[in-house]
């Protein structure tokens, strides 16, 4: 041993012994602090679980009291037979259950225990129970016990697993039932609101929190049975007769000692710490001696206990040093020896350190270069335009994206153009100069509701969202400008608003047309009967014909309104558009001659389509006439048909929802005056026209647009002032289809079979019912009238009929569709014909009517009634009356 090494060892040994003693003292103190900290944290964990249970039940209690105080609940109980009240309350209960997924059932029960309204949650679906499925709950224990609670209070049932039809429901649904009285103005109980809480989510949250705690946490009822324990297989043992699965059995000494565990907890055998939290609605006399959490209601199985058990001997945080302190000591000794050895090689270490620092400097320089490269790549890769400008307004850096957004293609001009753009942008966004901005820098945002408008290349106008953020690097003041193109988004929003506007107009016009059809039916029916019964007075017959012509024109207007609302009945058939175009061109050549040239180009292999052929012909004629009106001095109309494929990118870029796939495209282009940009979004609106008074109704384009939408197609208008307008129509193709349909005409021999048939006519519109009766009497049938579905059902139970003709929409509990369903339940059901002002296609689409039921659309004529009645008696072919 050299003298230098011996001298260093004698110097280091006392220091080592002092450090060792200090470490032992620190270990002892650290153990005590760790133990106290762990116990304190564990107490907080146990308390948090109890408080979470308390807060959850307080919230449920508030919900039950809120529901019991609703005026609609009182009204529904007082007027149980008012369907509107029950339906309204059921709708509100559905909304409540959708907003509160922790509840699985919400009921309104009358004093006799009969459910009045019930909403269930079944497999994450909220469902209102029909009237016939409501149950009597008067025998349930919770209803009997809730009868004795006072108004303004809540009854809370046992906390158990939900039982359905005597069997525990699987998967398990831990359930608590809450009931509160519904009272009238005299504070008299008239019924109860019952709310079932599914505590699965609460238990899952508590179990996750308990697993993250240092010890074990149990939640038990007053008998010690587990609601929650570390061993999940023992939870709810009492529901299966496993009474030994309880805190009282597993830790009998602790269970007996529960009253002695105060608010600070209890340490048994200096190794196991217990913490008790009590949950109850009744405050005990000694509540200050232990941790007590008051609940809003007294449950049947209370008090509840949350018990925390912490075994200090099992905590590695406290005992690790007892097992490993020799290794710590050896490590410390080795460190000291290494320290001494490093003293002897100080010079070598210094030289090595200098070399390492030089290498680190080189690596740092390389890292800086890589960082700069990465920054440049990210700067260019972001999908928005970026600029960094200095306080003089000069662009110090910009990415390629902003140059593409602004169409800055010439290499000599971008910087100059960007500098000019910056001045314009700051003037628009800040209403101040650059000097003012950098004097008091703050973030500036230009959002899409008031975007920055820029004319790119002097032609194309684009809209941008802009964010300007100040940057500071020492004394240097900079700003980063972020620009995002929102032009296409704003265009799509405009299209969506237009689509929603058209939908609203459609709903209004559809309702007007429906009522107007009923009025037309009364007038047309009476005129038809008057004509049949009139003597051969030519003047009188002429007047009747004139009135019938006027009514048909009114019906035509109704059809236009229904076309706009997309509720018009279409005669859909598979057609070859090439044949249709021959008819269109022939009509156009006859009607459009004034210095207008018509050109037609047909694509090869045109597909078949399913549309109403007459409506498509009218639409194309309408577009061509509009094109002619836009060219008073002459011009050309180009019509083109071809098969096209609309890809995903296109269908996602338009407001309408149409599927991707193959379509037949019909293009109508003119060389007229064009449509100004400020009104192009209005031309599809009903009654909007630029023509002189008396020369246009404004329904033409709106009718075409409504027909195309009803045919599951799409229409787009391109126009430029001074150059003309181009309208594209896209209709879905049919790969396999047959071209045609034939309708049957009743013969005199067929009508003979109708004589003596007994028919029941059901319609709340008395005049329409009378007209239909006269039609049937003219063909020799016997006819009875009923003005409600309830009256009709009573007639059917007292008298036999061969046929029932019923309106669909009628007052009362039984409408036309319900009446048809009831007739099918009879031992000898008779045929049923339904009538409505709406189309059968719409009623089938809305799931209101079976597509196989015979149907007559209002207003109807005697011929339509004859055909449909004959079909009902199977005296005519299988074609459907429209």
Where b means 16+ CB within 10 Å and e means fewer, 83-105 reads eebbeebbebbeebbeebebbbb
Average pLDDT for 731-746: 62
Please state whether 764 falls in left (phi above 0), alpha (psi between -120 and 50) or beta. alpha
Position 673 pLDDT exceeds 60: yes
Q: What is the CATH number of domain 748-872?
A: 3.40.50.2300
**Higher per-residue pLDDT: 788 or 435:** 788
Percentage of residues in the chain having pLDDT higher than 70: 77
- State how far the Cα of 159 lies from the Cα of 177, in Å rounded to an integer: 8
C-beta separation of 673 from 630 below 8 A: yes
Structure tokens at 32: 């005590």
Name the CATH topology of 202-314.
Beta-Lactamase (3.30.450)
**Higher per-residue pLDDT: 49 or 840:** 49
**Higher per-residue pLDDT: 800 or 280:** 800
What phi and psi values does residue 260 have, to the nearest 5 degrees?
Answer: -95, -5
CA distances from 360 to 356, 503, 522 (A): 6, 70, 98
Position 796 pLDDT exceeds 80: yes
Closest CA to 197 of 66, 60, 67: 60
Please state whether 874 falls in left (phi above 0), alpha (psi between -120 and 50) or beta. left
- State how far the Cα of 73 lies from the Cα of 129, in Å rounded to an integer: 16
Structure tokens at 493: 């929003």
By DSSP bridging, strand 216-220 and strand 125-128 are unpaired
Give the strand order in the sheet containing 803-807: 782-786, 758-762, 803-807, 832-836, 854-857
Q: Please count the other Cβ atoms lying within 10 Å of the Cβ belonging to residue 732.
A: 19
Average pLDDT for 117-130: 91
Structure tokens at 501: 């506007």
**Higher per-residue pLDDT: 551 or 872:** 872
Residues facing residue 291 across a β-bridge: 277
Residue boundaries of the structural domains of the chain: 61-198, 202-314, 382-485, 491-565, 573-734, 748-872
Q: Which range, of 82-86, 87-91, 423-427, 817-821, averages the lowest pLDDT? A: 82-86
Domain 61-198 and domain 382-485 have a common topology? yes
Task: Please give the pLDDT value at position 285.
Answer: 47
Position 760 pLDDT exceeds 90: yes
Pick the CATH number of 573-734 from 3.30.930.10, 3.30.565.10, 3.30.70.20, 3.40.50.620: 3.30.565.10
Instruction: Return the CATH architecture of domain 61-198.
Output: 2-Layer Sandwich (3.30)
pLDDT band at 832 (very low <50, low <70, confident <90, very high): very high
Structure tokens at 851: 């597509």
C-beta separation of 865 from 833 below 8 A: no
Structure tokens at 275: 């913490």
Match 């008051």 to its residue by tokens: 294
Average pLDDT for 536-543: 72
Q: What is the CA radius of gyration of the chain?
A: 43
By DSSP bridging, strand 635-646 and strand 596-602 are parallel
- State how far the Cα of 448 lies from the Cα of 12, in Å rounded to an integer: 73
Q: Which range, of 43-52, 231-240, 734-743, averages the lowest pLDDT? A: 734-743
Alpha helices in 598-678 (DSSP H): 613-629, 648-653
HEC per residue, 148-205: CCCCCCCEECCCEECEECCEECCCCCEEEEEEEEEECCCCCEEEEEEEEEECHHHHHH
Per-residue DSSP letter, 246: B
**Higher per-residue pLDDT: 137 or 12:** 137
pLDDT band at 694 (very low <50, low <70, confident <90, very high): very low
Structure tokens at 646: 């609309």
pLDDT in tens, 617-670: 888 988 888 888 888 888 999 999 999 999 988 888 786 788 899 999 999 999
Contacts of the segment 641-648: beta carbons below 8 A, 24+ positions apart: 641/577, 641/578, 641/581, 641/601, 641/602, 641/603, 641/606, 641/665, 641/666, 641/667, 642/602, 642/603, 642/606, 642/667, 643/603, 643/605, 643/606, 643/607, 643/733, 644/730, 646/714, 646/730
Where b means 16+ CB within 10 Å and e means fewer, 286-308 reads eeeebbbbebbbebbbbbbbbbb
- Residue 541 CA, chain-centre distance (Å), reads 59
Q: What is the CATH number of domain 382-485?
A: 3.30.450.20
Average pLDDT for 10-39: 72
Average pLDDT for 189-196: 93
Average pLDDT for 726-741: 76
**Higher per-residue pLDDT: 104 or 531:** 104
**Higher per-residue pLDDT: 454 or 824:** 824
Task: Please give the pLDDT value at position 695.
Answer: 45
pLDDT band at 125 (very low <50, low <70, confident <90, very high): very high
Task: Please give the pLDDT value at position 583.
Answer: 86
Average pLDDT for 851-873: 84
Residues facing residue 587 across a β-bridge: none
pLDDT in tens, 350-401: 777 888 888 888 988 888 888 888 877 887 878 888 888 888 778 878 888 8
- State how far the Cα of 777 lies from the Cα of 529, in Å rounded to an integer: 11
Task: Please give the pLDDT value at position 881.
Answer: 39
HEC per residue, 483-546: EEECHHHHHHHHHHHHHHHHHHHHHHHHHHHHHHHHHHHHHHHHHHHHHHHCCCCHHHHHHHHH
Please, what is the average pLDDT of the chain?
80
């Amino acid at each position: 041993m050299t003298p230098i090494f011996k001298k260093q060892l004698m110097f280091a040994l006392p220091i080592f012994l002092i450090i060792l003693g200090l470490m032992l003292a620190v270990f002892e103190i650290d153990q005590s602090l760790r133990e106290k900290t762990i116990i304190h944290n564990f107490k907080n964990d146990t308390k948090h679980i109890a408080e979470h249970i308390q807060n959850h039940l307080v919230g449920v209690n508030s919900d039950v009291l809120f529901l019991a105080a609703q005026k609609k609940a009182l009204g529904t109980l007082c007027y149980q037979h008012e369907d509107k009240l029950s339906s309204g309350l059921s709708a509100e209960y559905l909304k409540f259950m959708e907003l509160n997924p922790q509840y699985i059932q919400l009921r309104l029960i009358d004093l006799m225990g009969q459910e009045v309204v019930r909403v269930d949650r079944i497999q994450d679906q909220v469902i209102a129970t029909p009237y016939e499925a409501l149950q009597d709950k008067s025998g349930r224990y919770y209803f009997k016990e809730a009868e004795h609670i006072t108004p303004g209070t809540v009854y809370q049932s046992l906390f158990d697993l939900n039982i359905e039809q005597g069997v525990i429901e699987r998967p398990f649904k831990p359930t608590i039932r809450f009931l509160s009285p519904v009272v009238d103005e005299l504070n008299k109980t008239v019924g109860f609101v019952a709310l079932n809480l599914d505590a699965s989510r609460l238990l899952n949250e508590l179990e996750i929190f308990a697993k993250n705690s240092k010890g074990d946490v149990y939640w038990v009822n007053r008998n010690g049975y587990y609601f929650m324990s570390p061993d999940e297989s023992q939870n709810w043992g009492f529901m299966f007769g496993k009474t030994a699965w309880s805190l009282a059995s597993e830790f009998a000494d602790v269970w007996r000692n529960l009253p002695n565990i105060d608010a600070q907890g209890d340490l048994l055998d200096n190794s196991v710490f217990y913490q008790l939290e009590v949950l109850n609605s009744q405050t005990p006399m000694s509540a200050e001696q232990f941790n007590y959490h008051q609940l809003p209601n007294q449950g049947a199985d209370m008090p509840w206990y949350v018990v925390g058990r912490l075994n200090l001997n099992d905590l590695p945080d406290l005992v690790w040093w007892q097992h490993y302190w020799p290794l710590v000591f050896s490590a410390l000794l080795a460190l000291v020896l290494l320290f001494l050895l490093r003293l002897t090689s100080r010079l070598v270490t210094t030289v090595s350190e200098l070399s390492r620092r030089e290498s680190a400097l080189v690596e740092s320089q390389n890292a800086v270069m890589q960082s700069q490269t990465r920054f440049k790549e990210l700067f260019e890769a972001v999908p928005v335009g970026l600029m960094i400008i200095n306080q003089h307004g000069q662009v110090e850096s910009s990415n390629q994206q902003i140059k593409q957004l602004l169409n800055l293609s010439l290499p000599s001009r971008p910087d100059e153009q960007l500098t000019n753009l910056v001045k314009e942008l700051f003037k628009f966004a800040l209403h101040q100069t650059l000097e003012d901005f950098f004097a008091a820098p703050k973030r500036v945002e230009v959002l899409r509701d008031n975007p920055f408008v820029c004319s790119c290349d002097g032609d194309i106008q684009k809209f941008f969202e802009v964010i300007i953020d100040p940057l500071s690097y020492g004394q240097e003041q900079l700003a980063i400008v972020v620009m995002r193109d929102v032009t296409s988004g704003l265009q799509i929003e405009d299209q969506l608003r237009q689509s929603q506007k058209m939908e609203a107009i459609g709903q209004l016009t559809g309702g007007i047309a429906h009522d107007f059809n009923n009025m037309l039916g009364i007038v047309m029916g009476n005129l038809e009967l008057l004509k049949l019964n009139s003597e051969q007075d030519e003047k009188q017959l002429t007047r009747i014909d004139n009135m019938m012509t006027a009514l048909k024109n009114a019906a035509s207007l109704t059809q236009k309104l229904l076309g706009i609302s997309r509720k018009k009945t279409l005669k859909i058939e598979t057609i070859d558009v090439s044949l249709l175009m021959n008819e269109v061109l022939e009509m156009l050549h006859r009607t459009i001659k004034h210095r207008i040239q018509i050109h037609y180009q047909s694509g090869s292999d045109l597909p078949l389509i399913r549309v109403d052929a007459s409506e498509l012909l009218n639409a194309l004629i309408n577009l061509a006439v509009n094109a002619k009106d836009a060219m008073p001095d002459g011009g050309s109309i180009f019509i083109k048909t071809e098969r096209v494929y609309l890809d995903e990118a296109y269908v996602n870029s338009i407001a309408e929802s149409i599927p991707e796939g193959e379509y037949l495209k019909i293009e109508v282009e003119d060389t007229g005056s064009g449509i100004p940009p400020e009104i192009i979004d209005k031309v599809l609106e009903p009654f909007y026209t630029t023509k002189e008074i008396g020369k246009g109704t404004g329904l033409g384009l709106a009718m075409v647009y409504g027909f195309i939408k009803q045919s599951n197609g799409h229409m787009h208008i391109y126009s430029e002032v001074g150059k003309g307008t181009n309208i594209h129509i896209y209709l879905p193709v049919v790969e396999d289809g047959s071209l045609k349909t034939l309708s049957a005409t009743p013969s005199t021999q067929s009508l003979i079979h109708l004589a003596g048939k007994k028919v029941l006519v059901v319609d709340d519109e008395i005049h329409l019912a009378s007209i239909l009766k006269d039609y049937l009497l003219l063909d020799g049938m016997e006819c009875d009238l009923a003005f409600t579905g309830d009256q009709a059902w009573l007639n059917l139970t007292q008298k036999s009929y061969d046929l029932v003709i019923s309106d669909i929409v009628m007052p009362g509990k039984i409408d036309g569709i319900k009446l048809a369903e009831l007739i099918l339940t009879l031992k000898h059901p008779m045929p049923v014909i339904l009538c409505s002002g709406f189309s059968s296609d719409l009623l089938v689409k809305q799931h209101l009517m079976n597509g196989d039921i015979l149907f007559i659309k209002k207003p109807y004529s005697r011929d339509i009634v004859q055909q449909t009645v004959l079909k009902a008696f199977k005296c005519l072919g299988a074609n459907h009356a429209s």
